[in-house]
A and B are shown apart, each in its own frame.
Chain A
Amino acid sequence: MSAYDVIVIGAGSVGTPTAYFLAKAGIRPLVIDSAASVGQGASKAAIGGVRATHSDVAKIRTCLASLDVFSQWEEEHGDNIEWMQGGYSFVAYRDREEKILKDLLVVQKAHGLGIDWIERDELLGMVPDLEPNGLIGGTFSPGDGSASPLLATHGFFKKAVELGADFAFRETVTAIRTEGGRVVGVTTDKGRFDAPVVINATGGAARAVSQLAGLDVPVQPDSHEAGVTEPVARFLSPMIVDIRPDVGSKNYYFYQHRTGQVIFCITPDPPIVGEDRRETSEFLPMIARRMVRLMPRLRELKVRRTWRGLYPMTPDGSPIVGWAPELKGYVHAVGMCGQGFMLGPGLGQLITRLVREETTEEDRDVLAGFAPEREFAAMEALK
């Protein structure tokens, strides 16, 4: 039996940077994951987009912090995580989308975000391969970007280990032990570990893991499919997001990664609820049609690989992060709704301050937005 300051369950997009920031702050964490290595769940299924241009303050602040971490990582650690600041562009071909985006812009600008409306011709100047016919314009947020979820999560892992964090792979938590309304540690299929703080960062399995502590969190995963192409010379800078609905799908988005590969993903409609991550035959014809319509030049771009990843959804589309009110020492860091990668580093810092009881005024605003005890009612406009 070993004693740690904190046990993090889940070595993914949230658990791994959290372990890194905890270790950096001198707190000794143990990260437990049933996979054989770091980031093997939803983390490696993420396509790598990182933006702060959300519509609620909690996500905006968290992702601004993440952007700092991602954009400075290489300089700070000499570790290439394939960060690229290409920006995001949400495009509009119809009045309906134009209105949604412009309405949102008001909120985003109010939060001081670097995002603007770009008229058609200027947008075509920036993204010349967009289908020009019918294009009205779009938003552009130059501060947003992308990184490799594979390399970034692995980078956090390596640094966390260097700073003294322990990782137990191929180990499954079977019980969360409590005494007198406080968490005292966990039992796994291989042993027992004591710690006064346990953080649930288990993505799609969040609900089942919380139930081990007698708690319930409203997290239900659904799945999205994504793909990556061959690398080609750079022809595209920002992440392109098309929010028009179509038969079988809602929005889709793609960008040219720093490696020159285009990475793309689509939101199925209706959602495919559940944890099935096996490949389906419907995905590619569906997204290829939409991507090639939007950007005809993509038709000769060769698809290399596809995969399916889980979006651990909450009823209102916002994460659930913070101390569990019912159980002392237990931290929820779940329900990332498909944005765990971009939220992860910011949350890692936040959770570290939470555990050290050093939260700021701003942090408390953020934590209010992510509060486990909140009413899950309103749906965010642009999660």
Chain B
Amino acid sequence: MTDSGRYLIHDHPILTVPDTGTVEFTWAGKTLTARRGLPISSALFANGIRTFGHHHKDGSPQGIFCANGQCSQCSVLVDGRPAKSCMVLVEDGMKVEPLNGLPSLPPVATVDVAHAASPTDAALVATASGGESGKAADRAAHAATTEMREPEHRSCDCLVIGGGPAGLSAAIEMGKAGVDVLLVDDKHALGGKLVLQTHKFFGSMADCYAGMRGNEIGHLLADEVKTYDNINVWTNTNAVAVFSDRKVGLVRDGKDYVLVEPKTLLVAAGAREKSLIFRGNSLPGVYGAGAFQTLVNRDLVRPAERLFIVGGGNVGLIAGYHALQAGIDVVGLIEALPECGGYKVHKDKLVRMGVPIYTSHTIVSANGKEGVESVTIAGIGPDWKAIPGTERSFACDTVLVAVGLDPVDEFYHKAREFGMNAFSAGDAHEIAEASAAMFSGRIQGREIARSLGCAVPDTPVEWAAKEEVLKSRPGNQGREFVPEKQEGVVPIFHCSQEIPCNPCISVCPIHGITTGDDIRHTPKFVGEAIGARCGGCGQCVSICPGLAITLVDYRKDAENPVVTIAHEFGKEAVKPGDIVDVLDTMGGWLGRCEVLKVRPGVIKLPDGKDEPEAEIAAIADAAGLSDEGDGAAERSTSAENSDARAAREVRAKAAPYLMQNAKQTYKLLLQAPRPIATQIAGIRVQKRTVTEPMDLYVERLTDDTVVCRCERVMAGEIRALIRAGCRDVNEIKTATRSGMGACGAKTCGGLIERIFAEEGVRREDVEKNVGRPFFVEIPLGVFCGVDLESSPGNEATLGAAPGGGTISTVRDSATSNVDVDASKGSGGASRVEAEQ
């Protein structure tokens, strides 16, 4: 066994590793193997290759950045043709090479009829007009007859761009209403970013599948969409432009250009990650959380050995947890603010597993030559600048940048500008949690159906309220509630920050947990008040998305109670008899305890008699709806019944997933001394040595900081223009080419805004970038329906041209040009037009 494929994940605590066999391909002449079904980028990562080429302008190393088909920085040569490695699946025998400098445009052999040099050529010509058969001749004939196709034109009631939580939820509502929907997504599978989320979701079980893992919710929604005959789903389809004639351009399977004229348009295209300006920010190994999760959770490769995370929002915190689950060391996480913006339970989870979180810190540089070798951070002073002398460097191979998201809303704005009946939902409308996106989608789905004249039930007034609640930022930070009584079994909630989440309530068989009148309040055990005792079933432990509930069981030995904690690192990670470091919520070390038992989690399903209605009422109260007048109350009541029904349906659908995923959340039973038992929130996963800083401050290796990655434009150039009086992003584009690269300003757009802000220019004084088609680069041949048989990325035909051979075609294009009547038009026969 060679090293080949050594960064493949073979065992994952949550995900099942698919058994798809092995692919053999070459990279720069060397034979490598990878799991079948991986995109080339992940196949390269599986072999430890993270630098894919060098930029044509300055020779800077290039690698994965978006892993989402948007940025083009992962481009490689596949059988001699340039391709985005993150979008093309690796195949047996593929010859993959680094892309150094500009690629050559692949040649196309044409047969010159007048100069046919050989009998073969002559045969080709003959065959093209219907002669004998023969493989090459067939192909030539095929090429000649199906040489070009007009784009397909079609219409529909609603075109949905994006098959994530919002798009799918909207489609389901429209499915019910009988709307003729075309839903497109650029990935091969539906679910959007849900499919990358292996953690359990927050929210409530009744409304948004709380307790299910994101990928499970993705599957569930996708399955439901497929049950509606009136919903057409096109995966592997890019929406590329919205035109002023109210058509939307789609590219299906990388080859078919389709122009859709929808009556309504729903943009549910999600979000893109913001970037940061720091030295070394374009080194291979610096990328966003989305790319990271794609590599780890979708493709099951270990893209890093030592990861450093920038950003303490939910995205960064969760990515850290995913990294640990994939066996990646998380060296540290920095957050510029004095406190992480993400849910405290997410942060606590990381901290108590041994990941240090540095708040009020910023990244100074990512260091390395061909890729990231280390990162340098520094404390932030009151002036929001790095404090000299506080720099520390850590060895790492990957810097994950998770500093927020921006809506992908270009199509929505274009469509509105062009007078289309356009809607947006989910992150494309407003950045929030996926659970809120589902509500947003449902609401917009009904709204669209209504605008199309379909009979749809009134949208329950609570929906909007719920969406708002689910969007809410973390609220007050309270004290941990520790029951005084230390007997029997006591559930402890290491959950002291107000967030919209309550599945623990729903699974408690004795209805002993409450969040009071607002889903955002922290949960309390109120067994005694209702005359019930906790039986220690542990379902709350198993379902809690924050892994923040423990049980302390005093029944056998009150001085050394048994503490049950949740642990999602697989069955083998911790074994009975192991002595483990136990930590409190904040990661403080409490002592060492013996593991008594390791059990898979269990969730029994609620009997249906618990009260979703109560939850709804609580939410309505929280949103202030109960103060409304009689009319509103009436509507609310009628909606409530249908909503209660809907809630039961949601649960029924979630049930099999919940039962299954609980098993992946192991319950560790530890014996702990009484004084610390209620404080134990988890066990250390990562050794301290992993997170120690390097001895030396690593000197920066580059002085320039890249703003536009595609065109290698440095911050200094842009700053100089702004200081010279420039107040127009278009002028920056004109003078520096910033934003004129393959990605179309998707990354530098936000960074340029930041530089304007840093320079003290008010937002309203800056002329915005003029958006143009296309959203991603599309081969010319697609627009005229030419078969790009030998292009990488065209799976259906990839095998047709082994070794990347080019195709001979016979053409008589010169004579096939339409000869327009010369008298037509105003100019007469001699009139020819200007060009510039």
- Show the binding face of A for B, using Cβ within 8 Å: 35-40, 44, 46-49, 93-94, 96, 100, 129, 131-135, 150-151, 153-154, 169, 229-233, 235, 239, 241, 243-247, 250-251, 253, 260, 265, 267, 269-270, 276, 278-282, 284-285, 288-294, 296-307, 311, 317, 337-342, 379, 381-383
Contacts and interface: CB of A to CB of B under 8 A. Distances in A.
B244 A301 contact: no
Which among A47, A131, A303 has the greatest number of chain B C-beta atoms within 10 A? A303
A303 B240 CA distance: 11
Interface residues of B, number: 81
12 contacts: A40-B731, A133-B812, A134-B814, A245-B824, A281-B247, A288-B784, A293-B816, A301-B780, A302-B778, A302-B779, A305-B744, A341-B836
B833 to A, nearest CB: 4
B604 interface: no
A241 B835 contact: yes
A151 B784 contact: no
Interface in B324-379: none
A245 B817 CA distance: 9
Interface stretch (B99-107, B173-181, B593-601): B99-107
Interface string B817-836: 11110101111111111111
A281 B243 contact: yes
A303 B257 CA distance: 13
- 4 tightest A-B contacts by CB? A134-B814, A299-B781, A37-B731, A278-B244
Interface stretch (B110-118, B212-220, B271-279, B663-671): B110-118
A304 B727 CA distance: 25
A72 to B, nearest CB: 20
A299 B418 contact: no
B774 interface: yes
Nearest to A134: B814
Nearest to A295: B108
A265 B106 CA distance: 22
A326 to B, nearest CB: 28
Interface in B204-253: 241, 243-245, 247, 249
Contacts of B472: none
B635 interface: no
A356 B102 CA distance: 48
Given A133-B811, A300-B106, 18 more contacts: A37-B728, A46-B836, A93-B814, A133-B815, A134-B813, A150-B733, A231-B56, A233-B105, A245-B822, A253-B835, A269-B825, A278-B417, A285-B784, A289-B783, A292-B786, A293-B813, A296-B813, A303-B780
A356 B327 CA distance: 77
B734 interface: yes
Given A100-B830, A299-B779, A37 B734 contact: yes
A279 B772 contact: yes
Contacts of A303: 774, 777-780, 783
Interface of B: 56, 72, 81-82, 101-108, 110, 112-115, 148, 150-151, 241, 243-245, 247, 249, 257, 259, 417-418, 726-728, 730-731, 733-735, 740, 742, 744, 767, 772-774, 777-784, 786, 788, 791, 809, 811-820, 822, 824-836
A299 B788 contact: yes
Contacts of A48: 836
A233 B104 contact: yes
Contacts of B103: 232-233
Nearest to B101: A233
A38 B731 contact: yes
A231 B56 CA distance: 10
A253 B834 CA distance: 10
A379 B831 contact: yes
A158 B580 CA distance: 68
A246 B835 CA distance: 16
A288 B105 contact: no
Nearest to A239: B835
Nearest to B786: A299
Contacts of A305: 740, 744, 772-774
A276 B777 CA distance: 24
A304 B72 CA distance: 11
B783 A246 contact: no
A254 B56 CA distance: 23
B73 to A, nearest CB: 13
B404 to A, nearest CB: 26
A254 B784 CA distance: 17
A208 to B, nearest CB: 22
B259 A281 contact: yes
Contact of B827 (A38, A153, A231, A379): A379
A245 B820 contact: yes
A36 B418 contact: no
B728 A251 contact: no
A168 to B, nearest CB: 11
Contact of B110 (A39, A47, A131, A302): A131
B773 A306 contact: yes
Contact of A292 (B107, B781, B824): B781
A317 B830 CA distance: 13
A231 B245 CA distance: 29
Most A CB within 10 A of own CB, among B744, B778, B788, B817: B817
B243 A279 contact: yes
Nearest to A130: B110
B787 to A, nearest CB: 9
Given A245-B825, A294-B813, A383-B833, A154 B105 contact: no
